[in-house]
């Protein structure tokens, strides 16, 4: 299993890139948001998911561990494949997608290309209790990529330490978001 890839972005396509790692090029499928934030020539790290099917192998890349975990949850839903999961992650930042699922906002999820109303409702039913508490209540609106908040490094760190997404978000919801990252992680670990 390829857990992550770090290297220089040598080529960029519509929703995929090629990352050069010491002379070997890895093609990664990206969400629209990650694709827009990635430029040719820059060195970047992507968490990866290697999808192996009967007739193809694909490698998907994510700029944050949270995005990868949400992707893995999405593809665990019956009828949602990697392309549909990437379309859902292309709607907004991973935290916004997680928040929409936590708020049972099937209308938001159904805005993804190739995801119908029934699939969106299935995503909500299967994942609502697995993604943690919502950070905001009410319907989620699609926000332009330029206005996206930074990735929550404290959440990524807790997941890297083995916390499931739901436990990590629950633990961080009880900690002041204005504290430094290290302090937020320390306080969240105390709650376990």
pTM of this prediction? 0.73
Contact (Cβ atoms closer than 8 angstroms) between residue 175 and residue 184:
yes
Chain-centre distance for alpha carbon 142 = 15
Instruction: Say how many domains are in the chain.
Output: 3
**Are residues 138 and 70 located together in one domain of the fold?**
yes
**Are residues 72 and 120 located together in one domain of the fold?**
yes
**Are residues 81 and 96 located together in one domain of the fold?**
yes
Q: Over 50: is that where the pLDDT of 150 sits?
A: no
Contact (Cβ atoms closer than 8 angstroms) between residue 28 and residue 16:
yes
Confidence at residue 139, expressed as pLDDT on a 0 to 100 scale: 53
**What domain range is 92 assigned to?**
66-146
Confidence at residue 136, expressed as pLDDT on a 0 to 100 scale: 61
Residues 106-145 have pLDDT tens digits of: 999 999 998 999 999 999 999 988 887 776 655 555 443 3
């Amino acid at each position: 299993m390829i857990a992550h890839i770090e290297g220089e972005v040598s080529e960029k396509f519509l929703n995929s890139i090629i990352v050069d790692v010491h002379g070997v090029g890895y093609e990664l499928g990206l969400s629209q948001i990650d694709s827009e934030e990635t430029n040719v020539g820059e060195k970047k790290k992507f968490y990866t998911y290697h999808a192996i099917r009967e007739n193809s192998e694909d490698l998907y890349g994510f700029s944050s561990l949270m995005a990868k975990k949400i992707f893995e949850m999405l593809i665990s839903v019956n009828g949602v494949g990697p392309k549909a999961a990437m379309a859902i992650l292309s709607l907004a930042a991973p935290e916004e997608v997680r928040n929409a699922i936590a708020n049972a906002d099937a209308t938001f999820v159904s805005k993804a290309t190739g995801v119908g109303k029934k699939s969106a409702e299935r995503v909500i039913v299967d994942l609502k209790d697995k993604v943690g508490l919502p950070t905001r209540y009410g319907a989620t609106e699609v926000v332009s990529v330029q206005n996206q908040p930074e990735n929550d490094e404290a959440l990524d760190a807790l997941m890297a330490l083995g916390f499931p997404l739901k436990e990590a978000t629950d633990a961080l919801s009880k900690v002041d978001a204005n504290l430094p990252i290290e302090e937020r992680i320390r306080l969240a670990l105390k709650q376990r």
